[in-house]
Structure 1
Amino acid sequence: MSKETKAGDRRERGLATYREVYGEDAALPPGGSADFFDLLIIDQQFSEVWSRDALPIPMRRLLTMGVLAATRRFDILEIQFARVLEAGELTEEQVREVVIHLITYVGTPSSGDLYRASEAGIQAHRERLAEKPTGE
């Protein structure tokens, strides 16, 4: 197998895993115009880390949520909350339980942002459900 084929397989595996994590309609770098960093994330993080078998995606997502909360990346955490609901990995009640658990680790000063991110994710999920035609 050539080096280019291996790289292509790695990219495809990374893109497939990225779509599984963030959803089929997640924004992806357009072919040929992605910058180095976008490709590094797809090729390394999603192809080589998220796609490993030892931990399923729902467990990896919970770990990621903890890191995002601890590093105050509530913008990305909001996306993860919406996606965990869309994927059926957690219920709204469980999302709120994640918030309760994380507040004890990230502290009261971050708790408001954490709560708002979870509620925005829940609302985004509800809006997506409302947009779907009946029967899906």
Structure 2
Amino acid sequence: MSDSKRDQGIARYHEVYCNQLPEPPAEGEDRFFDFMLGSLFGELWSDDTLSIRDRRLLLLGAIAAQGEEMTFSIQAESAYRRGELSPEQLEEAVLFLTQYVGYPRASKLRLTLLGLIDKWRKAAETE
């Protein structure tokens, strides 16, 4: 993999996640991260055919189908911080996805989202 793809991937990784996730390992320390940074972030997330918001919505749907609360939380938090989706839009996405992923999975994601919204509200009140 070219250094430029990995470097581009690191920049996009930080952009997508608002510098909220841990710093990736140094090049060569972890093949998984090297591959992910070059291909997933250096190529896919960096391609301008779809916006980051578009990709995030697709990812939220895939995560909802798996019922992955932790990953949903990371994506919802990043979407909110980047101004891609408002709390109301995230709630609507969960409501919509309920019909496709089922009530048990969506209920867990809704509780996760309500916790995030409460955190965002409290943070806004202290600013």
TM-score, normalised on structure 1? 0.82
Q: Highest Rg: 1 or 2?
A: 1
1:61 and 2:56 correspond: yes
Work out the CA distance in 1 between the residues paired with 2:51 and 2:12: 11
Match of 1:88 in 2: 83
| RMSD of aligned Cα (Å) | 2.1
Is the Cα contact below 8 Å between 2:76 and 2:90 reproduced in 1?
A: yes
Match of 1:7 in 2: 2
**Structure 1 26/129 Cα, relative in aligned 2: closer, same or farther at 3 Å?**
farther
Is the Cα contact below 8 Å between 2:64 and 2:106 reproduced in 1?
A: no
Which amino acid in 1 is paired with 2:106? Answer: S
The structural deviation recorded for 1:32 is 4.8
Match of 1:3 in 2: none
Match of 1:42 in 2: 37
User: Which of 18, 24, 40 is the matching residue for 1:23?
Assistant: 18
3-state DSSP class of the match of 1:61? helix
Runs of 5+ consecutive residues of structure 2 not aligned to the other structure: none
Identity of aligned residues (%): 33
TM-score, normalised on structure 2? 0.88
The structural deviation recorded for 1:56 is 0.5
3-state DSSP class of the match of 1:53? coil
Runs of 5+ consecutive residues of structure 1 not aligned to the other structure: 1-5
Which amino acid in 2 is paired with 1:91? Answer: S
Work out the CA distance in 2 between the residues paired with 1:123 and 1:34: 38
**Structure 1 114/16 Cα, relative in aligned 2: closer, same or farther at 3 Å?**
same
The structural deviation recorded for 1:123 is 3.7
3-state DSSP class of the match of 1:75? helix
